[in-house]
Amino acid sequence: MAKFSRGKGRGTPKISTASLPDIIFILLFFFMVVTVMKDSELKVEVNYPYATELQKLEKKSLVSYIYIGVPAQRFRKKYGSAPRIQLNDSFKEVKDLKLFLEQEKSKLREAERGLMTASIRADKDVTMGIVTDVKTELRKIGQLKVNYSSKPRTDDL
Amino acid sequence: MKRFDNQINAGSMADIAFLLLIFFLVTTTIDVDKGITVKLPPWDDEQILQPVPPRNVFSVKVNSNNELLVRKEPIPISRLKEHTIEFILNPNQRGDMPNSPKKAVVSLQNDRETNYETYIEVYNELKAAYNQIWEEEALKRYGKTYENLKREEKKSIRKDIPLIISEADPTDFALK
């Protein structure tokens, strides 16, 4: 007579780890959605200024970043400590802005090209000289939508 | 007889997912993209200067020591907002201020040595002044906050109280 053997499988049952990958995947997707890929390594030091009247930049793909700041410590020997402009991954001059924006624009669809925003990410301690040069160049190129990156400020002036 | 176990071992799946997760944690940043959005005026080689009567101009000058001169009067940056609001709305109908908010023009000039932080603060205060005026106008006209208005309603407010910030070429005292 067939008899089901009991008793053998007793003891503490193993916890099923089959759902663990799912949990981790959910975490992964969460991070993929919430975060942004580091588009370039920062070679200049940028501490954003503080402001209250902030607007959020909606579409990441429509934004081109212009970093302005003092070269990071490891580049000081070569590039000095005067504020410089960084586009993509390298130090650039004001005149390189045109080509850079042209390239950024060519990545977009035709309908979206007019919506491109230039995000000026300048250090709060740079002087207006270099920022003005960038602004003037942007005006000459015709990139008029500009955003000054800043962090939210909560206390009064 | 040897039997094959057809189940794929899912135990290592978690490890793979963990690796992916760690990769994303390292390569990404959570920085919110926020800032002050500005529309620059188009460049004109021969700049046409439209004469604006002085009563309509709210001139803000920032020097290389980050000090403010508002309508030829030095004021601290913390009082810039109230000055701007008073100028635009002109509640006392003063003769040296515009008789309608439509005509008000903010003229901002800085030095090449002005700190960027100060510039942003000044710009922020000017924008804050306008935002507050729009907010009050929205409540008065439609009984809603500005943010909840429809597009046309926002437009009509902005048409009556336009934000005009004209930026003059910066001074350069460092070289001269």
Per-residue DSSP letter, B139: H
ipTM of the complex: 0.76
A-B C-beta contacts closer than 8 Å = 159
Rg of chain A taking only CA atoms, in angstroms? 26
Average of per-residue pLDDT across B108-132: 91
pLDDT tens-digit series, residues B43-93: 877 766 777 888 888 889 998 888 898 988 899 999 999 999 999 888 888
- Find the CB nearest A31 among B25, B40, B125: B25
pLDDT tens-digit series, residues A84-126: 999 888 899 999 999 999 998 898 888 888 889 999 999 989 9
- Per domain, the residue ranges of chain A are 44-152
Class of domain A44-152: alpha beta
d(CA A61, CA A59): 5
Q: Does domain B54-131+162-167 have CATH number 3.30.420.270?
A: yes
Contacts of B124 in chain A (CB under 8 A): 51-53, 150
Cβ neighbours of residue B43 closer than 8 Å, sequence gap 6 or more: A136, A139, A140, A142
Query: Is residue A71 within 8 Å of A81, Cβ to Cβ?
Result: yes
Task: Write out the DSSP string of B146-164.
Answer: GGGS-HHHHHHHHHHS---
3-state SS of B78-108 is: HHHHHHHHHHHHCCCCCCCCCCCHHHCEEEE
Query: Is residue B80 within 8 Å of B58, Cβ to Cβ?
Result: no
